[in-house]
Structure 1
Amino acid sequence: MLNKHGEPFRILFVCTGNTCRSPLAESLARRAVDRFGWGHVEVRSAGVAAVDGTPASPGSIRVAARHGLDLSVHRGSRLTGDLVEWADLVLIMSPRQMPYAETAGGAGKVSLITDFSEGRESTEDSMLGGVFDPMGGDDEEYEQTYLQLAELIERVLARLEPLVAP
């Protein structure tokens, strides 16, 4: 199945290290697109300061497992121009990632995930929030980040449904 334009639709989630937020977002989105039967929607993640091959953080692995997701096989990827070119939509977790994603070729397809989920364009004024980075935090902080991402992913996919639903 392809999107309304006859092509796969590709979403790239970006955070800083590709060990906490973006792997959780990728896993949540992958589970949701499977649930919706959107086999033509592809999902990946990367980090602006990621070291290729780094595993997900222990806190992310634990919170994912509590919610039925397996991040134990995740290996980090650094954000590259090729990844940005691959994507139709690049969703960043923090305003600080915008310049990296745009410099990598993402102008016009990069949005702060919190803005996109609300149907807002990411502007300097709107990009005050984002998703809390739980790196180094306790399990409760990872849980809060997971819950925020779970809600955001549902809203993002609801916005994309008219474009990608079969």
Structure 2
Amino acid sequence: MSAATNHSKQVLVVCTGNTCRSPMASAWLAHKLAGKGWTVSSAGVAAWNGQPASPEAIEAMREIGVDLADHRSRIVDDTLVAAADIILTMTEGHSYEINARFPQATDKVRLVKSFGAAPPDNVMDPLGAPLEVYRQVRDELVQALGDFLVFLAERGDLPPSP
């Protein structure tokens, strides 16, 4: 982030219902970006506003020291999209949906798993699966978001590490 920038940059993380993948990803990313000039939020393309994160998502994240207990779902809207500097989606379908509903945001939309050396890929929806699947999705997200942090650092959007 340049020294001339006085406002924080924003990441919007999007999935379907905003109760599993995007809350897990946004909470971990917010933890890693704390104090670095970024804010992180999440939403779903088909979310019911006000729903808590799934119990399995809460537990999977608790295991790595990230608290989702206060998360409440919300649907992606014009305000969230306009405020975002980058929109990370869990699947190509989510990217398509965002681009169709918010064509002005096309240049901001990226798959969360598109920053590493592996080919871009979707993150499966763990809804209804056992806790072990949530752990696998969590670990997949942590890897993908680690690649995203490297991307931000390489383009100069993070302050140097102490």
Same fold (TM over 0.5): yes
* Cross-structure match for 1:81: 78
* Cross-structure match for 2:57: 60
Q: Would the aligned equivalents of 1:47 and 1:77 in 2 still touch at CA under 8 Å?
A: yes
CA apart distance, 1:113 = 1.1
Number of corresponding residues: 154
Three-state SS of the structure 2 residue aligned to 1:56 is: coil
Q: What are the superposed Cα offsets for residues 16-69 of structure 1, whole Å, 9 maximum, x if unpaired?
A: 0000000000011011112xx40x101000000001101101110111111111
In 1, Cα distance between equivalents of 2:27 and 2:10? 14
Identity value in percent = 33
Structure 2 unaligned residues grouped into runs of 5+: none
* Cross-structure match for 1:23: 23
In 2, Cα distance between equivalents of 1:133 and 1:99? 17
Match of 2:20, as an amino acid?
C
Match of 1:164, as an amino acid?
D
* Cross-structure match for 2:105: 106
* Cross-structure match for 2:43: 46
Query: What root-mean-square deviation, in Å, do the aligned CA atoms of Structure 1 and Structure 2 show?
Result: 1.7
Structure 1 unaligned residues grouped into runs of 5+: 121-125
Match of 1:14, as an amino acid?
V
Verify: 1:97 aligned to 2:94, yes or no. yes
TM superposition outliers: structure 1 runs of 4+ over 2 Å: none
TM-score, normalised on structure 2? 0.89
TM-score, normalised on structure 1? 0.87
Three-state SS of the structure 2 residue aligned to 1:111 is: strand
